[in-house]
Structure 1
Amino acid sequence: MIESEDQARELCATLAQAGGTDADAALGKLDQLAAMLSSENERQNLVSRASLDQIWLRHLADSAQLLSYDVPRETSNWLDLGTGAGFPGLVIAALRPEMDVFLVESRKRRIEWLESAVDSLSLSKCHVLGARLEDVESFKADVISARAFAPLPKLVKLAQRFATEETLWLLPKGKSAQKELTELPNRQSKLFHVEQSVTSSEAGVIVGRLNL
């Protein structure tokens, strides 16, 4: 379990290097993202104000840890649902800049923030899809993530058209992870499991693949 901002930075650097990305360059982008987020949070409530005191732990490393769950270097694309303030999508894009990362967000002010962040951070392979998920054209994703998008059964129902049997689902669910897993049909729930978050003793990440 990591508990400090320094440990959170170290985790992000380690995961950048593991993916073949220059750690200093990746941390530079994340530093810039943290500063931009703190500034924008004065204009719109992207994240809780209290969480900004531990932005590396609560948001950056919390997002980055998803890369530790068997995400190969050769992964070509990542779909992040209801990305909101950009977590985990913007962090993943900074740590794996060679991978296409698609951020789905329907709220106008959040879309504007995401587009500004992508441009400022020069994330050329990060794409903001400013629409409801139901209106996004189907494509096959290597990884699907969602930090706070919808209850698990609804999330799977809405997003499974983007999945193959090889698609890796990475779903941070906080305290509700194990409970939400029991709400899936039995044939689906057996394909997922809960991993302990490394940034919070009370949080879990649902990990798995669908048998389509």
Structure 2
Amino acid sequence: MTEQEAQDWLRKTFDVPRETWEKLENFLALLAEEMQHQNLISKSTADHVWDRHIVDSAQLLLHAPKGEGEKIWMDLGTGAGFPGIVIAILGDYKVQMVESRGRRVNFLESVVQQLELTEKALVFGDRLENVESHPVNVISARAFAPLQKLLSLSHRFSTENTVWLLPKGKNAVRELKGLSPKRQKMFHVEQSLTDPEAGILVGLG
């Protein structure tokens, strides 16, 4: 997917209004500026940011539950803001971003303020183990921990209706096979739109 194809897909799939599109562009401008001070994304993906990061994050919304009322999306190890900031811009969720690294916490908090996302996004600047338990509708993690550890650390935030959206790249099937049979049944694998060899683990419960 080229950068133009990525932008075209976003516009078509989410019918993105101008104000929302400007937030995406402003986010990328803030990211580029911050990259001069800390390594937020791989330099090899910096020229493919719409494809490798924006669309790669936004596609998770296609597998997320719809419905009325306030819905909470918890993103683990948000780092540079993927997928958390993208979900907050494009989705209808209240996004809780868990990030323990101080400089990245400062960056995320600055982005939330500058993009006027304070009603839709909250940063937990701490380790997940120190976040108080509460139920959420969606749990995502792009590069947080191996699957078994991820589930063990975050299961206390899930209910029988919680949807798990876990991009696992080329290791998706291998990591899934490493779970107990009961936990394996929670998940199925969806192919990533941005990489034909990458998978997204989609789970319920």
> TM-score, structure 2 length as denominator?
0.95
> TM-score, structure 1 length as denominator?
0.92
Q: How does 1:132-151 map to 2 (within 5 A)?
A: 132-151=127-146
The match for 1:56 among 50, 59, 71 is: 50
C-alpha deviation, 1:201, in angstroms: 1.3
Q: Which residue number in structure 2 is paired with residue 107 of structure 1?
A: 101
Moved over 4 A (4+): none
Q: What percentage of aligned pairs have identical amino acids?
A: 50
Instruction: Note the alpha carbon deviations across 1:132-185, whole angstroms, 9 max, x for none.
Output: 000001111100000000000110111010000100000001111110000111
> How far apart in 2 are the matches of 1:109 and 1:99?
25
Partner-residue secondary structure (3-state), 1:114: helix
The match for 2:158 among 145, 163, 188 is: 163
Matched residues, number: 203
Structure 1 gap segments, 5+ residues each:
none
Between 139-148 and 8-17, report the one with greater CA deviation: 8-17
> Alignment RMSD, CA only?
1.3
The match for 2:115 among 113, 121, 129 is: 121
Are the counterparts in 2 of residues 15 and 67 from structure 1 also a CA contact under 8 Å?
Answer: no
Q: Which residue number in structure 1 is paired with residue 193 of structure 2?
A: 198
> How far apart in 1 are the matches of 2:22 and 2:13?
14
1:174 aligns with 2:172: no
> How far apart in 1 are the matches of 2:169 and 2:95?
23
Are the counterparts in 2 of residues 41 and 49 from structure 1 also a CA contact under 8 Å?
Answer: no
> How far apart in 2 are the matches of 1:44 and 1:71?
34
The match for 1:183 among 178, 181, 185 is: 178
CA 81–72 in structure 1, closer or farther in 2 if over 3 Å, else same: same
The match for 2:11 among 10, 13, 26 is: 13
> How far apart in 1 are the matches of 2:14 and 2:89?
9
Structure 2 gap segments, 5+ residues each:
none
